[in-house]
Amino acid sequence: MSRTSRSFRIAAVSSLAALGLLATACGGDNGSADAASDGKPVTIDYWTWTLGAKATAEEFNRTHKDIQVTFTEIPSSAEGYSKLANAVKAGNAPDVATIEYQMVPEFASQGNLVDLTELAGDTVKEKFPQPIQDLVNFGGRTWTVPFDAAPQLYYYRTDLFKKYGIEVPKTWDEFETAAAEVKQQDKSVRLASMPKSDPALLAALAWQADSKWFSIKGEAWKPAVDDAGSKKVAAYWDGLIKNDLVQTYTGWSPEETKARIEGKTLSFLGASWSAGGMKTSLPDLEGKWAAAPMPNWGTPASGNYGGTSYGVLKGSKHAEAAAEFIKWVTTDGAAVKARLSDKKSPSSALPANPEMREVAAAQFDTSYFKGQDIYGLASEQVDTIVPGWTWGPNQMDVYTAVQDASARSGFSGGVVAGQRKAESGIEDRGLKLAK
């Protein structure tokens, strides 16, 4: 459980400062108003969507006298980031927020994050392996503190796989064959659903196929959202949809959940963090699900599907207190135990700090999966994440373009639209675009 990845690497982005990416982020308030002159505890605001966060905040408040945390749950994905960005503009942003790795360069470049080099740089260096550090350190600075790693996992109904005589697919060719077999046996049932509303999933699948959506050449950005790996993945899923071998429910929609509950969808493409949510969204299916490595293109491989870090938002007057809370959440076993004690919203996030993985594994209730070691499986898959992926400086806009075009013209159209938006967005931000 304490294994660290030697291959989970994002391309080094230390040259981002030279590219002008951090031009608007250099003056972030490092929060000098932490000390309370009246003897009362410093109160910091904490916004997130992650499971178990409320219980974690409550445990921190119970065990800390000088700092207290006010917890607020916000939406995930684009809606949540828009809420955070708007709050920074309005001057009422929280002190602490969770920022997924793909959004760290963009949020830093927009001036939304406080530079945490002095407050948390040593923590990141000492407590997290280098590949994880690369996700939050660039331009010679530390912008956020890692929370979890998110290797892809494949979740499937053991009872229904047995009913239809389906073996767990190890490759995407086997996945397509299994999808055809399921449809042939029952035309109302499908092996899986591939949502067109989740560009992060498409990115993870492209990552697995050795795609590189962004890279840096000299002092210029080179986007390649429609590279060979992405086109292969897009064509594959477009083909399955065209042949009616998979469903296309909106991700996390009531329709998608209903199909899983009723046994109309036999499996889904998830990540390490998916397991906890299944306990609340599919409670009556306890003991019927298992997890496996994601099917691959012939060689074991995975992409990072999400993954979250903690940042301090610009305008915080309590950055020092916020950094203390962040350090506790990411490196203290008590925080891990508190997060996993929340039975109403259990979390299966795989700690980015290897020292915390055994603590998490010991706390996570595996009865839903009939004792399967989900944390052990996820830790193994971290080592298969393909190296060399770089997130771009306008990732949210690229995601929006991919999502909108995928809904109209399939995933193949989505990656083409994503490439166009990546190119135009880089130039619109005054950054150099490699020719």
Same domain, 95 and 116: yes
Contact by Cβ (8 Å): 153, 294: yes
Query: Is 6 among the domain residues?
Result: no
Domain boundary among 325, 344, 372: 372
Same domain, 325 and 289: no
Query: Is 434 among the domain residues?
Result: no
Same domain, 299 and 338: no
Per-residue pLDDT tens over the stretch 404-413: 999 999 999 9
What's the CA gap between 197 and 88, in Å, rounded? 27
Per-residue pLDDT tens over the stretch 195-220: 999 999 999 999 999 999 998 888 89
Same domain, 196 and 109: no
Query: Is 418 among the domain residues?
Result: yes
Query: Is 180 among the domain residues?
Result: yes
Same domain, 334 and 398: no
pLDDT at 344: 72
What's the CA gap between 173 and 227, in Å, rounded? 21
Contact by Cβ (8 Å): 60, 328: yes
What's the CA gap between 403 and 414, in Å, rounded? 6
Contact by Cβ (8 Å): 347, 276: yes
Same domain, 171 and 232: yes
Same domain, 201 and 252: yes
Say what percent of the chain tops pLDDT 70.
91
Instruction: Give the domain extent around 192.
Output: 152-304+389-428
What's the CA gap between 315 and 114, in Å, rounded? 8
What's the CA gap between 415 and 246, in Å, rounded? 20
Provide the CA 131 distance to its chain's centre, in angstroms.
15
**Count of structural domains, the chain:** 2
Same domain, 239 and 200: yes
Same domain, 261 and 355: no
Per-residue pLDDT tens over the stretch 271-304: 999 998 898 899 999 999 999 999 999 999 999 9
Same domain, 292 and 362: no
Query: Is 380 among the domain residues?
Result: no
Q: What is the reported pTM?
A: 0.85
Strand order in the sheet with 145-146: 67-73, 42-48, 96-100, 308-312, 145-146
Same domain, 133 and 36: yes
Q: What's 75's domain CATH number?
A: 3.40.190.10
| pLDDT over 90 (residue 23) | no
Mean model confidence pLDDT for the chain: 90
Mean pLDDT, to the nearest integer, of 389-396?
Answer: 88
Same domain, 128 and 74: yes
pLDDT at 14: 35
What contacts 24+ positions apart, CB below 8 Å, involve 419-424? 419/223, 419/224, 419/225, 419/226, 421/394, 421/397, 422/213, 422/214, 422/223, 422/225, 422/392, 422/394, 422/398, 423/223
Query: Is 174 among the domain residues?
Result: yes
pLDDT at 34: 62
Per-residue pLDDT tens over the stretch 96-129: 999 999 999 899 988 999 999 999 999 999 998 7
| pLDDT over 70 (residue 364) | yes
